[in-house]
Structure 1
Amino acid sequence: MEKQIINPWKWQDARNYVQAVDVSNVTGTLYISGQTAIDDEGISSTADMRTQLLKTFENLEKVIQDSNYELKNIVRLNVYTTDSASLFENFDVFQNWIQKNEIKQSSTVLEVKSLFETLTVELEATVVK
């Protein structure tokens, strides 16, 4: 797999995403359903945004690793949240995870009216091989 990052500007670098990702010679593409802070028994978290973000990343990692893909090959990561202000107050969790895993992804953040039950954040990813 070959990956080329397209960034006509520099400002997005501080926000840990890119404007576009061009991939070629792909041998597989993994489209991941929205991952949230649901535990192994299917119980939705009632915790604060920071705790839900951490659990959501944990669940996203599990799906990717169980599929034999690599975190660094996430090319798209969309974020849905019921509370943008709270998300951005805890955005260091997002940025630290992106940096730690050397991910260069396109992203969109959308505030939505509600998510399933008590959930406040959901991550939807596309990963390539």
Structure 2
Amino acid sequence: MEIKTINPWKWQDQRNYVQAVEVKQVNGTLYCAGQTAINAEGLSSDADMKTQLTQAIQNLEQLIITSGYECKNIVRLNVYHTDFAAFFESFHLLQDWVIKHGIKQATTVLEVKSLFETLKVELEATVVM
């Protein structure tokens, strides 16, 4: 597998994402449903944004590993949240996780009116092998 990141500029480097990712000779692609702060029993969290973001990251990582893929091979990460200020107060958690795994992903971050039940953040990833 060949992964090439494309950045016509440098400013995105401080935000831990890339403008585009080209992947050649892929052996597999994992399209992950949005991962949220839903526990193993299927109960949606009503905790604060920081707690929910932590759980969503853990759930995404568990899904990727259980599927036989590696977090470092995330090439696309979409982030949906319901509160701009609260999300960006906790954004460092997501950035730290991206740095920890050496992920170089194209990212879109969107504030939405609401998510399922009491959820505040959702992470949707595409991973290659």
Q: Which amino acid aligns with 2:111?
A: E
Give unmatched runs, 5+ long, in structure 1.
Answer: none
Deviations 1:35-65 (A, max 9, x none): 0000000010111111101100000011100
Give unmatched runs, 5+ long, in structure 2.
Answer: none
Superposition TM-score, scaled by structure 1 size: 0.99
Find the aligned partners of 1:109 and 1:42 in 2 and give their Cα distance.
25
1:47 and 2:53 correspond: no
Q: CA deviation at 1:115?
A: 0.3
Find the aligned partners of 1:110 and 1:91 in 2 and give their Cα distance.
13
Q: Which amino acid aligns with 2:87?
A: L
What is the correspondence of 1:19-98 to structure 2 with a 5 Å cutoff?
Answer: 19-98=19-98
Match of residue 121 from structure 2: 121
Q: CA deviation at 1:89?
A: 1.1
Deviations 1:107-129 (A, max 9, x none): 00011110001000000000000
> RMSD between aligned alpha carbons?
0.5
Residue aligned with 1:23, SS: strand
Find the aligned partners of 2:15 and 2:126 in 1 and give their Cα distance.
19
Q: Which amino acid aligns with 1:16?
A: N
Instruction: Say how many residue pairs are matched.
Output: 129
